[in-house]
Amino acid sequence: MALRFVADADTDAGELGFGVGGQRTAYSLTLDDVSLRPAG
């Protein structure tokens, strides 16, 4: 599954966070080919 996210704010002090956890069964989370770049 591939997900794309585009922020709706323009700031030099931006932050990207992932809230994961709270699952009763084990799972794995893999992030691959992540890039942060200016919109346009």
Per residue in 8-39, pLDDT (tens digit) is: 777 777 777 878 888 899 888 888 887 777 76
Predicted local confidence at residue 40, as pLDDT: 64
Alpha carbon 3 to chain centroid distance? 9
Q: In terms of C-beta distances under 8 Å and separation of at least 24 residues, what long-range contacts does 7-15 make, across chains too?
A: 7/39, 10/39
| Type of residue numbered 19 | G
Reading phi first (left if > 0) and then psi (alpha if -120 to 50, else beta), residue 22 is in: left
Prediction pTM value: 0.38
